[in-house]
């Protein structure tokens, strides 16, 4: 339980850049990224709108498909 609280606290300091990386990779639609990664489109949408924290598991998959660095997928909030 303590781990969950710590993750929630830390994740609040970051937002993801999945949308920016997807568009930079010239993948126009979330549906296409969902098909390429096997991640449900609804989850891609939640990630792109920062309603769901980008887990390391999903980040690895997305980075591989988009051919970007893991660091490109995260941005620390000001």
Confidence of residue 37 (pLDDT cuts 50, 70, 90): very high
Give the pLDDT confidence score for residue 4 in this predicted structure.
79
**Top-level CATH class of 2-76?**
mainly alpha
What mean pLDDT comes out for the span 5-25?
89
Residue 77's nearest CA partner among 27, 9, 19 is 9
Share of the chain above pLDDT 90, in %: 72
d(CA 40, CA 63): 16
- Secondary structure (3-state) at 77: coil
Give the pLDDT confidence score for residue 34 in this predicted structure.
98
pLDDT over 70 at 1, yes or no: no
50 versus 58: the higher-pLDDT residue is 58
């Amino acid at each position: 339980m303590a781990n969950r609280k710590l993750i929630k606290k830390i994740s609040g300091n970051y937002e993801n850049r999945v949308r920016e990386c997807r568009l930079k990779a010239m993948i126009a639609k979330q549906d296409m990224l969902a098909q390429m990664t096997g991640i449900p489109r609804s989850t891609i949408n939640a990630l792109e709108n920062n309603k769901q924290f980008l887990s390391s598991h999903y980040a690895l998959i997305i980075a591989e498909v988009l051919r970007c660095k893991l660091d490109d997928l995260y941005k620390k909030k000001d």
